[in-house]
Amino acid sequence: MTHHCVLLTAALLTACVHLSVAGIFAQRLRCTFQTFVYEDERIRVHRCEFAPQSWWQMSHHCKDLPENRPSPIGIELSVCQNKSEQLKPIELGGGWSENRKFVVWNNGHSIQADAVDGADLTVTGGHLRGTYNCIQFHFHWGSEANMEKGIGSEHRLVDAAGKEVPTPLEVHIVCKRRELNVKQAVSTPDAIAVLGGFIQPMKPADNETSADYAISELLANMTGLLIPVKRGPHSGRQLRDEDASTVQLQLRGLLPDNLQRFVNYDGAFTTPGCNPFTSAFFDKAKTRPMVNNFRPVMSRHGREIRCSFGSS
C-alpha cells in the first residue's frame, strides 16, 4: 500500500459540532431537517442543504477565522518547523496490528468504520498529552476523474520544492482520550485527535492472508457502500442492519511503516455536525453518487506546522 505522508491533527474541539445554533437557524427557515453538502450550490431553504461556503450558518465555528483553527489546510513542507526535539515518536498499542472488528456504514457523507472495541487501539507521542484510543476511521476522496489527477484528499501536501503531491484519497483515524467517553471528550479541550494519512486507491491484494488484504478489499468496494446516499429523518446510528457491514482488518495497514516522520498542527473537524458525536439526518428519497467529499482548504492564519524531521 502506498502512503505519501502521515500527519497528526490534535485538539479538534473548536469544531463544527454545536447543533443548537444549527437547530435555531433551521427552525427560523422552517426546515424539516438540515444537513450539509460538498457541492458549490446555494442554500435550498426547504431542504436546508448548506454548501461549504455556507457551513458557518450551521455553526459559527465553521467560519474561516483564526480562533476556530479551521481545517483542512495546505501542508507546505517548506514552512514546516523542525520540532523533532519536542515531538515524541508516535507509538501505537498492540491492537493496531491485530485483526479487529469494525462496523462499516454509509453516514451520508463518507464511508465510516466504527471500532467494535477500540480500548487497546491506543496512540501516544507526537504532540499528544496522554493516551488516546481509536473509535472510528473514515475517508475523503474525489470523483473518478479528479482522483486520476491526484485530487481527492482534504489536506493539500506541497513538498519542500513547492510541488504539490498527488493525494487522491485521505484517511482520518479519530481517537479520543482513553479515560473519557465520547461525550466527555467532545466537550474537553484537546481530548480528540486525528491520525491522518494520504493513501492510493488499490485493487484487492492477491494474498488473502496479507495484512493489507482486508483494507485493499474495503477500498476497492467503496463505491458499492456509498451509493446511494441515504438521507431522511433517521439518525445514522439507526441504520438498518442491511445498511451496514462488519469487516475484520488490521488498522495499522492504513498508516505508513515509518511513524517517525509526521506533521502536526492544531486544527478542527472538517465537517459540520457529521461525526460520531452528533446525529446526521438523511433523506431516503434522494440518491446521488458520493464523490468529492472534501472541504476546500482553509486559511492557515499563521498557525505553526510542526515537523518531526528536518528539511533534508
Give the CATH H-level superfamily of domain 3-15+66-307. Answer: Alpha carbonic anhydrase (3.10.200.10)
Task: With cut-offs at 50, 70 and 90, classify the pLDDT of residue 266.
Answer: confident
| pLDDT at 307 exceeding the cut of 70 | yes
Alpha carbon distance 104, 98 (integer Å) = 18
164 backbone dihedrals φ, ψ, rounded to 5°: -75, 130
Alpha carbon distance 93, 96 (integer Å) = 6
Longest dimension (CA), the chain: 57
87 backbone dihedrals φ, ψ, rounded to 5°: -85, 115
Let me know the angle formed at the C-alpha of 304 by 60 and 155, rounded to the nearest 5 degrees: 65
Task: With cut-offs at 50, 70 and 90, classify the pLDDT of residue 181.
Answer: very high
Q: Residue range 43-59: average pLDDT?
A: 53
Please identify which of the residues 46, 61, 109, 172 carries the catalytic annotation: 109
pTM of the model: 0.68
CB 13 within 8 A of CB 191: yes
- Summarised one tens digit per residue, pLDDT across range 80-89 is 888 887 888 8
Specify whether 234 is catalytic: no
Cell numbers for 70, please give them.
Answer: 479551521
Alpha carbon distance 116, 77 (integer Å) = 36
